[in-house]
């Protein structure tokens, strides 16, 4: 591949993932570390305060239980389709959240438990 083409491809990949290289969390990583390594902060802020790309992640325990939040993180699509509150959030931001099915069940559980305590 020419240099120009690889840069173009890198740019497209970068934009499609909100420029986030997802670093696989080391074994035993806690929720805060997984949040950082997956670049959730790009769209939700360093401590979940939200920014122009994504909503604040506060008091999530009002709307989520642990198993549903784990499923949402792995695949948000079905929740956006059936949940009016999330559909409204979807329209308020330029890009939807992607799937975090790169994380295994333990990592998703750690992340979701941490989010529910923010
Ligand atoms: C590209 C920007 C982006 C990234 C990166 C991102 N999100 Fe989101 N997130 C959103 C948007 C936008 C929404 C609102 C729903 C939608 O449009 O998909 C959302 C919704 C959510 C919600 C639901 C909020 C609620 O009020 O119920 C949670 C929880 C969440 N994100 C957690 C995360 C976590 C954890 C990560 C990292 C693993 C992450 N997000 C990465 C943009 C992003």
Q: Is 93 in the pocket of ligand 1 (CB under 6 A)?
A: yes
Rounded CA separation 5/103 (Å): 30
What is the arithmetic mean of pLDDT over 78-105?
94
Compute the distance between CA of residue 29 and CA of residue 84 in angstroms, rounded to an integer.
33
Look at residue 18 and tell me whether its pLDDT is greater than 60.
no
Query: Is 107 a pocket residue for ligand 1 (Cβ < 6 Å)?
Result: no
Contact by Cβ (8 Å): 35, 118: no
The arithmetic mean of pLDDT across residues 29-47, rounded, is 96
Cα(53)–Cα(51) distance, integer angstroms: 5
Write down the residue that tokens 């240099």 correspond to: 3
The finding on whether 34 has its CB within 6 A of some atom of ligand 1 is no
Q: Which residue has the higher pLDDT, 18 or 86?
A: 86
Residues 53-74 have pLDDT tens digits of 999 999 999 999 999 999 999 9
Ligand 1 centroid from CA 55, angstroms: 7
The whole-number average pLDDT for the span 22-26 is 89
- Other Cβ atoms within 10 Å of 73 Cβ, number: 23
pLDDT at 16: 47
């Amino acid at each position: 591949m020419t240099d120009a083409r690889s840069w173009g491809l890198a740019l497209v990949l970068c934009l499609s993932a909100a420029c986030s290289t997802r670093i696989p969390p080391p074994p035993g990583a806690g929720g805060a570390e997984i949040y950082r390594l997956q670049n959730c902060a790009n769209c939700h802020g360093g401590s979940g305060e939200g920014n122009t790309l994504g909503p604040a992640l506060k008091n999530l325990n009002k709307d989520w239980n642990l198993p549903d939040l784990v499923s949402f993180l792995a695949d948000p699509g079905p929740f956006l389709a059936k949940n009016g509150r999330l559909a409204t959030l979807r329209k308020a931001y330029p890009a939807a959240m992607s799937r975090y099915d790169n994380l295994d069940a333990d990592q998703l559980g750690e992340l979701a438990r941490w989010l529910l305590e923010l």
